[in-house]
Amino acid sequence: MVAKKSLKILNLLGFLFALSVAFPAYIRSTFLEEFVALRWIGLFFIGSAVLSLVAINFFPYFIKKFTNYRLSLIVIIIDIVSILLLISTRSPYWAFVFFTFAVVATYLIWISLDVFVEKLTANITTGRTRTIYLTFTNLGWVLSPLAVGYLVGEKNYRLIYFIAVLFLLSIFIILLAKRKSLEDHVVYKHHHTLRTLKNIWRNLNLRGIFAIAFLLELFYAIAVIYMPIYLHQDLGFDWSVIGIIFTFMLLPFIILEIPAGVLADKYAGEKKIFCLGFIILVTAVALFFFVNSTNPIVWGLILFISRCGAALIEAMRESYFFKIVDVEDIDYINFFRNISPLSYLIGSALAILILEFYPIQYLFIFLAVILLSGFYFTWRIKAVSKKSLNVKK
């Protein structure tokens, strides 16, 4: 009963934190154009990704030393201060510093929430619990574009960041109020980075799910940074239209993930759903390149289809990974979340290279080709049997 109540609190926290991240997510690249030219925006994401990889690497050590609860409060404060300084500066150099710290803090907060949820999740219900939590976080992403499209007005990007700070403050207050139910006393297993990497490489299932997760995050990285720019600057959509398109685009994360998680728990069907997700995603990303229409309905449908594939892959990524690891395995969880900044690092570097020689839409066809490898990694991993989930790993 206590666990169920705590999970409800975490679902709320996931929703609020998603709002704080999603509000500025789609205007970040355009906001950064106030400081640097389009072709160099990727450097902000590369820098933040590199520092995130370093910070995430040391995060398990600090979780073990200070507990996840206390560390989450510290990181939220860092995030709030970094955003406030970012929207106050006019210097491109300080903008780079504050942007980087805010991005790093965001990754660390997501890891803290992951640890909270995993601590309260039974293996047999992992798919259901994880996808409910994902649905709440995705609800924050769905509601944000419409609000942002309305609020951003004439490049009022700093207001959007300030609203994100208000959401972070609400999370901080809830964490303080729910200290008794969320404080952790778990004995975490923390190993040297090299040993963790060797363990991941030697385990076929871990290696496969890490590769699948990387492909999904690579899609997110390129889509989040460059699709708003493409729609706004190349196709001429204003932000109010983009807000409507993106809200519609994100609906599959609300509609599909819980049913997919239930099916995965009931039939251990992650592999089949992975394949379906990649078929849909690769097809849609290829359409990003081939479709030249300036009709917002057309783009709304294409982006909606792409997120149907992404939602299925995301649901199965969470379900499969958290069935084969436990909360004590903080190193694996930590490295799992390291994939996101790694994808931003590689995706931004790839984009800088491609944009040096090709128009922005060519970025999407390169991405579609890379995503095809998802079928290979899906084929390689082994299905998690229902029987194996009835006992504690």
The secondary structure element, H or E, covering residue 298 is helix 296-324
If you search the block for the tokens 């190193």, which residue do you land on?
Answer: 331
Structure tokens at 187: 């004995």
Closest among 8, 280, 278, 270 to 129, alpha carbons compared: 8
What domains appear along the chain, each with residue ranges and CATH number? Answer: 2-390 (1.20.1250.20)
If you search the block for the tokens 């709002």, which residue do you land on?
Answer: 19
Identify the pLDDT of residue 390: 43
Give the Å distances, CA to CA, from 83 to 20, 24, 269, 323, 345: 11, 10, 41, 35, 21
The residues of the chain scoring below 70 in pLDDT are 1-4, 121-127, 152-155, 183-193, 267-268, 326-330, 384-393
Which pTM does this prediction carry? 0.76
- Give the C-alpha separation, 243 to 103, whole Å: 22
What angle is formed at CA 269 by the lines to CA 263 and CA 273, rounded to 5 degrees?
Answer: 90
Q: What DSSP character marks residue 125? A: G
- Give the C-alpha separation, 143 to 15, whole Å: 10
- Give the C-alpha separation, 79 to 100, whole Å: 10
Identify the pLDDT of residue 357: 87
Assess contact for 225 and 41: CB atoms under 8 A: yes
Structure tokens at 103: 């991005």
Identify the pLDDT of residue 229: 83
Closest among 289, 354, 282 to 42, alpha carbons compared: 354
Q: What DSSP character marks residue 191? A: -
Closest among 258, 279, 245 to 374, alpha carbons compared: 279
What angle is formed at CA 45 by the lines to CA 42 and CA 49, rounded to 5 degrees?
Answer: 140
